[in-house]
Amino acid sequence: MEKYLRFAAISIVLLFVGSLMAGFTAEYNTIAPVLLEDEPVVHSASQATSPGHVVFGQYISSDNCGHCSKPGGGSDAHHAIKQNHPDEYVYVTYMSASYGDTDTARAGKTGPYNWAWSTGGAPKAHFGDRTDARGNGGPGTGGCSISGADASYTSYDATFSSGGCMASTVSDYGMTAAISQSGSTYDIDITYRYTGSGSAAGNMKLYAALVDKDCTGYSYSSG
């Protein structure tokens, strides 16, 4: 009799627990799943459009340049254009230690290169195949030389989109270069071609520099 009562008590407990679990799962199964919308991924804030040819830019920056390193500032604006137009934009950065002294050997003022830019002030950007600072203007003005930078990622968009102060026939010229070591010196082989109609320009100058593809030796001290 005692075993029978114990078995009956256990059966009642199991039945009670089973009823509770059925109620919990039934209530859980009636909850409608919430679908989350996909957030758009913004890769670049640049609004620059293709100029139809390659654009060359030269960028004056420095370790302590706050307007260079701030989000959306000078460096971000150049990088944003490069991300959106990787085959149409080439730029080099002259990185000095201080924006108060930009014409230093570390930044690139070494012979035989003739430093054509100002001796102080950053950020500054110069566009086109030239060695002067004509056409100076502020961010977004579309000038050939831009002083300063805002925080919109678009300081140089207008200049790039309108042709970057370069001739539209720049794509008619092509060049390849190779470097190899020969003892204590280096041999540089350059091949160029002209694919346009008519005669090629006869007053061309070669601008060449050995640079780091991604500069990791210096960092901004301004943020």
d(CA 54, CA 88): 4
Using DSSP's 3-state secondary structure scheme, residue 14 falls into: helix
Here the tokens at position 160 are 């790039």
Q: Which of 13-17, 123-127, 208-212 has the highest mean pLDDT?
A: 123-127
- Which tokens sit at 212? 């780091």
For the chain, give the longest Cα–Cα distance: 117
Q: Please provide the average confidence, as pLDDT, over all residues in the chain.
A: 79
Identify the residue whose tokens are 């390193």.
69
Span 183-203, mean pLDDT? 86
What mean pLDDT do residues 44-72 have? 91
Region 59-72: mean pLDDT is: 93
Of the candidates 195, 207, 166, the one whose C-alpha atom is nearest the C-alpha of residue 52 is: 166
Q: Stretch 44-53: mean pLDDT, rounded?
A: 87
* Averaged pLDDT for residues 28-46: 53
Give the whole-angstrom CA distance, residue 7 versus residue 182: 96
Q: What is the pLDDT of residue 223?
A: 46
CA-nearest of 22, 164, 33 to 89 is: 164
Residue-range domain boundaries for the chain: 55-167
| Sequential DSSP letters for 112-168 | T----S-SS-S-EEEESS-SS--SEE-TTS--SEEE---SSS-TTHHHHHTTTTS-G
Cβ atoms of 156 and 81 within 8 Å: the answer is yes
* 6: pLDDT strictly greater than 70: no
Most confident listed range (9-18, 114-123, 146-155): 146-155
| Token output for 82 | 């490069």
The neighbour count for residue 131, using CB atoms within 10 Å, is 14
pLDDT confidence bin for 171, thresholds 50/70/90: confident
